[in-house]
Homo-oligomer: A and B are copies of this chain.
Amino acid sequence: MVNLPHIYTLRVYYEDTDAGGIVYYANYLKFAERARSELLRSIGSGNIEVMVEFGISFAVSSCAIKYRRPAKLDDMLEVRTGVAKIGGATITMIQEVYRGSDRLVEMNVQMACLNKVGQPTRLPQKIRGSVSSFGLT
């Protein structure tokens, strides 16, 4: 079992649920993106910051998700995130959504580093160094 060092907590509101009484499947991708944004912000690489400092942004290039159990209205959830791999122009993260000790959803997300015109570009050295502190260990 991998160690996912970054923790982001959130509450499930009506907006997140659907008529099945559970969290709509696409919304876990929103939760995961909030968590990745906060992980990057915590190392000084928030969305606006990397645009201003490096002229880059991140876009998800691929994503695999396994839905184990549903989350429900009012649940408090934790998104746990770890950096699995840092490539030349990509970062791969493992993200898991927990309710207490129950692992509800597992995701593997590959992000591409893009320049201002949306082309892949090398990950700035500064980000490469700091993001590695969230490695899986």
Chain A residues within 8 Å of B, Cβ to Cβ? 11, 13-15, 17-22, 24-27, 29-30, 33-34, 37-38, 41, 46-48, 57, 59-67, 70, 72-74, 118
Contact = CB atoms under 8 A, between A and B. Distances in A.
A18 B20 contact: no
Secondary structure of the A side of the interface? mixed
Candidate in A18, A30, A67, A72 with the most chain B CB atoms within 10 angstroms: A18
Closest 4 CB pairs of A and B: A26-B29, A17-B19, A64-B64, A15-B30
B29 A29 contact: yes
Contacts of A62: 64-67
Contacts of A11: 34, 37-38
A54 to B, nearest CB: 15
B29 A59 contact: no
A24 B19 CA distance: 10
A137 B49 CA distance: 40
Contact of A47 (B14, B46, B48, B60): B14
Contact of A13 (B22, B27, B30, B66): B30
B37 A33 contact: no
Nearest to A12: B19
